[in-house]
Structure 1
Amino acid sequence: MIKHILPILFFTLGIATVAQAQFNPIGTEYKLVWQEEFENEGEVNPGIWSHEKGFVRNNELQWYQEANAKVEDGNLVFIGKREQVKNTRFDPGNKDWRRNREFAEYSSSSINTRGKYEFLYGIMEVRAKIDTSMGMWPAIWTLGVSKPWPSNGEIDVMEYYRVKGAATILANAAWADEGQYNAKWDESKIPFSKVLEKDPEWPSKFHLWRMEWTEKSIKIFLDDELLNEVDLARTINPDGSNPFQQPHYVLLNLAIGGNGGDPSSTLFPKQYVVDYVRVYQK
C-alpha cells in the first residue's frame, strides 16, 4: 500500500467458490485464535480498530474520517464519497502535500489494529467484496510493529488498482533497501481482465483472500488460488533484520485516486465491504 511499480507477472487465476476456498482447521495444527465478524451494528469497534485521519499517504485524494466506516448487516462497509472536506492542517506555504491542499474532494476510511491486535505467523483470512470502478484502491495489508517503513515490513494480502492504466489485483511483500524509504518488493500482478474472463460477475461477489505466514515463507491466495509465495530467506533489511520475523498488525482501507486512477468520471458513493477477518495459529 506504500507504493511501487514493477513489471507485471501473469497468472491464470482460477475462480473457486467461497465454500471451496475457506480454510478448514479441523485435523490440522491450526486453531482460530482471533476473529472480527462485524456483528455489532453501528460504529467500528474502538477496542479492536483505530482510525487514520486526514491525508495520509501516496498523494491520494481522499480525506480519511471515521464517518465513512460503519458496521451493518454483519459487514464492515467502507463508503467512498465525492464531497468537499476542509483540511484542518491547511498551510498554503507548506511543501507537504498533506498540508498545502485546502480541501479534499473525496472522503473514505482506513482502520488498523496497531497496539490492539498483532500476530506473528499464522493464517489470516479476509472475506470481502471490492469495488473495481476507476479511482478505487481497496486494500488488505499488514505492517510490522517495529522500525519505520519499509524496514518494518509490509504484506499486501490484497490491493486493487491501475498498473499502466490497466486494472490489476496485487499480492506483495516489501522490506528495506539501501537508502531511506527505499523498498525491495516481491510482487505479483494479476491483470483484472484475466479474472473477468473466468467470471464476468466477479465484482458483484464476495471473495476470500488468505495469507499463510510461517518462519520460512508468506503465501497469498485468492479464492484458494496461489498468487504469490515470498521466500523469507531473501527478505533481509540492510541492518540484517528480517521484518517478517516480528509481529504485524492488520490494516483495511479504501483509498481513492493515486494508483487507483482518476475518479472524476466515477459515480459515487462507492462501497468496499468486509465480511470478516480471522487469524489461525498453531
Structure 2
Amino acid sequence: MKVISLSLIAVIYSSFAFAQHKTDTLFFDDFKGNTLNRAEWNYEITGHTNNNEQQAYVDSVITLSVAGGNLAITPVYHRGYESTEHRKYDFLSSRINTRSKFEFTYGTASARIKMSGGDGLWPAFWALGEGKWPDCGEIDIMETVGDSTWISNAMHGPGYFGNTPFAYRDHFPKGIDVTQWHTYSVKWTKDSLVFSVDGAVTYTVTRAMVEHYGRWAFDNPKFIIINFAVGGGYPHGVNKIDIPYFGLSQSSVDKIKRGEAKMLVDWVLVTRE
C-alpha cells in the first residue's frame, strides 16, 4: 500500500510541475515531434573525455532520438570508434546542453526522467556555468551510476570539487527505483540550493555551508545539461570494477549491446525563483 501511495504522490507532483510552466516558465521542452529542437539544445561532440569515461559523445539519431513525447538517449557499443583527437572508444552516447541558447540565474529546474540500472551506467541531469571548472560552479541535480536504489545530488566549485563535501545519496523506499518515472528538481536562490525528488526535499546546501570551503559559485548564469556516460571515475569509485572496462561491468556492457540501456526524459522545465 505504501508503494502505491508514493507512486500516486509522484504522479500528482509531476502533473503540478508540468502545469506550473503556464504562468512562470523560463524554459520548457516536452519533446513533442520527432527531432531534437536545435534552437534550444546543442549536441556536444567528443574531442576528449573527462573522468576516464568510456564513451564518445556524437550527434546521431542512433544514440539520441525524440519520439512519443520523450527524449531517449541510448548508448551503443561501437568498438574502436576514433574521435577527432584520434582517441579510441568502444561506446557511443549523447550529451546535450542549452549553452548560449538558454541560461538562467536562480529559479527551479526540473525534469521528469526514468533510466536503466546497471553498474557503470551514468546518466545525469545537471547545470554548469560558463568559464573554467570548477570556478564556474556545477549543480548536479540528478546522477546515478547504476545502483537503481539511489540517486545523488552534488555541487562543485572552487575549494569543494571532485570528491566534494557537498554530495548526498538519496535512497528510494523499497519498491521504488530509478527505472520508474520521477521528477528531479533543484530550487536555486542567491543563498541556497534545495534538491528534491517528486516534490520531497532530499538535500539542502546554503551559502554559509559552502563558504566554509571556498567561494560561492552560484551567482552566475548556468545552462542545462543532459547526458548518458558509461564507466568512468564516479562509477568506479562506487563499484570498484576494472574489467572489462573502468567502472563498467560485463552485465552492463551486455545490456548496452542489447539496446536495453536507456535514459528517457519526458520534459524539462525551468521556472522563476
TM-score > 0.5, shorter chain as reference? yes
- Check if 1:83 corresponds to 2:78: yes
Q: Distance in 2 between matches of 1:197 and 1:252?
A: 27
Pick from 31, 34, 51 the counterpart of residue 38 of structure 1: 31
* Alpha-carbon shift at residue 203 of structure 1 (Å): 4.1
Say which SS state the counterpart of residue 177 (structure 1) adopts.
coil
* Alpha-carbon shift at residue 161 of structure 1 (Å): 1.2
Q: Distance in 1 between matches of 2:215 and 2:152?
A: 25
User: Per the alignment, do residues 249 and 90 of structure 1 end up closer, same or farther by CA in structure 2, a change over 3 Å counting?
Assistant: closer
Q: In structure 2, give the amino acid aligned to 1:169.
A: I
* Alpha-carbon shift at residue 251 of structure 1 (Å): 0.4
Which residue in 2 is equivalent to 1:244? 218
- Check if 1:20 corresponds to 2:13: yes
CA deviations 1:80-116 (Å, max 9, x no partner) are 112225213455xxxxxxx4xxx21111100011111
Residue 151 of structure 1 contacts residue 237 of structure 1 at CA under 8 Å; is this kept in 2?
no
Say which SS state the counterpart of residue 145 (structure 2) adopts.
strand
Q: Distance in 2 between matches of 1:138 and 1:70?
A: 15
Aligned residues: 245
Q: Distance in 2 between matches of 1:236 and 1:144?
A: 18
User: Per the alignment, do residues 204 and 161 of structure 1 end up closer, same or farther by CA in structure 2, a change over 3 Å counting?
Assistant: closer
Q: Distance in 2 between matches of 1:112 and 1:125?
A: 14
CA deviations 1:30-61 (Å, max 9, x no partner) are 7122201111212x222111111124211111
Q: Distance in 2 between matches of 1:203 and 1:118?
A: 27
Deviating above 6 A after TM superposition, structure 1's stretches of 4 or more consecutive aligned residues are none
Q: Distance in 1 between matches of 2:11 and 2:114?
A: 12
User: Per the alignment, do residues 169 and 74 of structure 1 end up closer, same or farther by CA in structure 2, a change over 3 Å counting?
Assistant: same
Say which SS state the counterpart of residue 12 (structure 2) adopts.
helix
CA deviations 1:120-159 (Å, max 9, x no partner) are 10111100111112221010000112x3111111100000
Q: What does residue range 1-282 of structure 1 map to in structure 2 within 5 Å?
A: 16-23=9-16, 31-42=24-35, 44-54=36-46, 55-67=48-60, 68-89=63-84, 99=87, 103-145=88-130, 147-161=131-145, 168-177=150-159, 184-191=164-171, 195=172, 197-199=174-176, 202-236=177-211, 241-258=215-232, 259-260=234-235, 261-266=247-252, 267-268=255-256, 269=259, 270-282=261-273
User: Per the alignment, do residues 169 and 223 of structure 1 end up closer, same or farther by CA in structure 2, a change over 3 Å counting?
Assistant: same
User: Per the alignment, do residues 151 and 74 of structure 1 end up closer, same or farther by CA in structure 2, a change over 3 Å counting?
Assistant: same
Residue 142 of structure 1 contacts residue 250 of structure 1 at CA under 8 Å; is this kept in 2?
yes
Residue 154 of structure 2 contacts residue 164 of structure 2 at CA under 8 Å; is this kept in 1?
no
Say which SS state the counterpart of residue 119 (structure 1) adopts.
coil
Gaps of 5+ in 2: 1-5, 236-246
Residue 116 of structure 2 contacts residue 148 of structure 2 at CA under 8 Å; is this kept in 1?
no
* Alpha-carbon shift at residue 173 of structure 1 (Å): 1.1
* Alpha-carbon shift at residue 183 of structure 1 (Å): 7.2
Residue 220 of structure 1 contacts residue 228 of structure 1 at CA under 8 Å; is this kept in 2?
yes
Q: Distance in 2 between matches of 1:172 and 1:182?
A: 10
More helix by share: 2
CA deviations 1:191-230 (Å, max 9, x no partner) are 4xxx26143xx34421101111111110010112211101
More strand by share: 1
* Alpha-carbon shift at residue 265 of structure 1 (Å): 2.3
Gaps of 5+ in 1: 1-13, 92-98
Residue 148 of structure 2 contacts residue 178 of structure 2 at CA under 8 Å; is this kept in 1?
no
Residue 158 of structure 2 contacts residue 215 of structure 2 at CA under 8 Å; is this kept in 1?
no
Over the matched positions of the two proteins, sequence identity in percent amounts to 27
